[in-house]
Amino acid sequence: MAFHALSLAFSLLATVGQPAPLTGAPPAPPTARYCLRVDPSVESRVETIRCETRDVWASMDVDVDREWSSWGVRVLT
């Protein structure tokens, strides 16, 4: 029983310092550019990173908050 209590205590300590996962893209000013991985062009296999403002992504029908967890790289302010 003592082993189980000790194991539980260590598992709780391991999660205390961990940051909470983001539910969307990090907040930033309207002029910030959000960089996302995008599919490479037809003639290349090299991964491409594209940086655009939220407005530009929205004009391309991309929801930055929804795509951020899978494809987000960084935010340029």
Look at 32 and 44; give whichever has higher pLDDT: 32
* CA distances from residue 23 to 6, 12, 13, 27, 65 in whole angstroms, order as listed: 32, 22, 23, 11, 7
58 in a domain, yes or no?
yes
Between the CA of residue 61 and those of 32, 55, 58, what are the distances in Å?
18, 10, 5
Number of domains in the chain: 1
Q: Are 75 and 54 in contact (CB under 8 A)?
A: no
Residue 76 resides in a domain: yes
Judge whether 65 lies within some domain: yes
Percent of the chain with pLDDT over 90: 57
Instruction: Classify residue 13: in a domain, yes or no.
Output: no
Query: Over 60: is that where the pLDDT of 20 sits?
Result: no
Instruction: Grade residue 23 by pLDDT with cuts at 50, 70 and 90.
Output: confident
Domain carrying residue 36: 26-77
Can you give the pLDDT at residue 47? Answer: 82
Average pLDDT of the segment spanning 23-50: 89
Quote the mean pLDDT of the chain: 80
Q: In what order do the strands lie in the sheet with 72-76?
A: 48-52, 33-38, 72-76
